[in-house]
């Protein structure tokens, strides 16, 4: 029997929400930048890394550890 780690799952979901909020916030102010394309490329990479990390955290938390 494996025991799920709900703290890691919750933190994973919170990180997804933060990554999406960061992406959409930066999307709204990208037009004021000198180079909006490069700004959104960087923001997308950062949000993608945080989103990927959060998905891994959710999976690990749901798999759990042996009791």
Residue identified by tokens 């949000």 is: 47
How confident is the model at residue 67, as a pLDDT? Answer: 84
Report the chain (67 residues): mean pLDDT per 10 consecutive residues. Answer: 94 97 95 94 96 97 91
The full set of domain ranges for the chain reads 2-66
How confident is the model at residue 66, as a pLDDT? Answer: 87
Residues with Cβ within 8 Å of 21's Cβ and at least 6 positions away in sequence, in order, are none
């Amino acid at each position: 029997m494996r025991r799920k780690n709900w703290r890691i799952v919750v933190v994973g979901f919170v990180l997804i929400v933060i990554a999406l909020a960061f992406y959409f916030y930066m999307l709204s102010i990208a037009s004021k930048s000198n180079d909006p394309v490069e700004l959104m490329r960087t923001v997308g990479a950062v949000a993608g890394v945080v989103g990927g990390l959060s998905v891994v955290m959710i999976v690990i938390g749901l798999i759990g550890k042996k009791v």
